A = this chain, B = another copy of it.
Amino acid sequence: MSGLVVTNPPRADIGVAAQLAAHGVATVHEAQGRTGLLGSHLNPVWPGARIGGPAVTVTVAPGDNTTIAVAVEQCREGDVLVVSPTAPCDMGYFGDLLATSLQARGVLGLVIDAGVRDVADLEAMGFPVWSKCVSAEGTVKGTLGDVNVPMAIAGQIVAPGDVIVADEDGVVVVPRLDAAHVLQAAEARSKKEAASRERYAAGEISLDVNNMRPMIEAAGVRYVDHESYLKERRR
């Protein structure tokens, strides 16, 4: 059942993807109703990058990176390669040679729920990678996974062409057909946050900015000065 390579899946608009990236992972995640965040064990291997683009999805066998080589050919300018092993594996599936190849094709970066290596080179090249770990443990070749088939990665389903946004806060997936709608929500949210930020900087607090006092009242907040508290709990 593996070895399937689906060619030319429809992709989310790369302009929309770039704009989603500008809002950042946290805002996009909130904007689509707190969904789509990949597990927090995926971290950037070098700091500061932020990308957004349609996913080319790849499943790989444990300890075998054959399918990544296959997937390169399916990548286009602006894509993000998204790789998940079919069983948990910490080995180093990806290094500077594959990064060179992807960069030559205009691929924006890699998200992989496994290990990568040559991280000093990856940073020097400016090729962004979000991974589970760093491992120099090389893989073998011989067993195929699938390319551009919907897959599970780090707790989410990613379908080919879905938007992947990644930055220092992590990685979020936006379903392809929802991208435009989520972008609108993200813009609204960013605007609202900018207004709130000014009020916070001026000394207002969240209880007032977000009108939370009635809610905490209802939830039963009880203010007690320290001396009374001590008397109450003394034993």
Q: Does A206 contact B (CB under 8 A)?
A: yes
Pick from B6, B72, B95: contact of A205, CB below 8 A: B72
A8 to chain B, nearest CB (A): 5
Pick from B37, B144, B215: contact of A137, CB below 8 A: B37
B87 contacts A137, C-beta separation under 8 Å: yes
A203 contacts B136, C-beta separation under 8 Å: no
Chain A: interface residue total (CB-CB under 8 A) = 110
Query: Which chain B residues border A43 with CB–CB below 8 Å?
Result: 134
A116 to chain B, nearest CB (A): 9
Query: Which chain B residues border A140 with CB–CB below 8 Å?
Result: 61, 142-143
Q: Does A77 contact B (CB under 8 A)?
A: no
A100-B197, A144-B219 are known; give 19 further A-B pairs, CB within 8 A: A1-B33, A2-B33, A2-B35, A6-B226, A7-B224, A40-B90, A66-B216, A66-B219, A70-B221, A72-B205, A84-B155, A87-B137, A97-B193, A101-B206, A104-B201, A134-B168, A148-B226, A149-B229, A177-B235
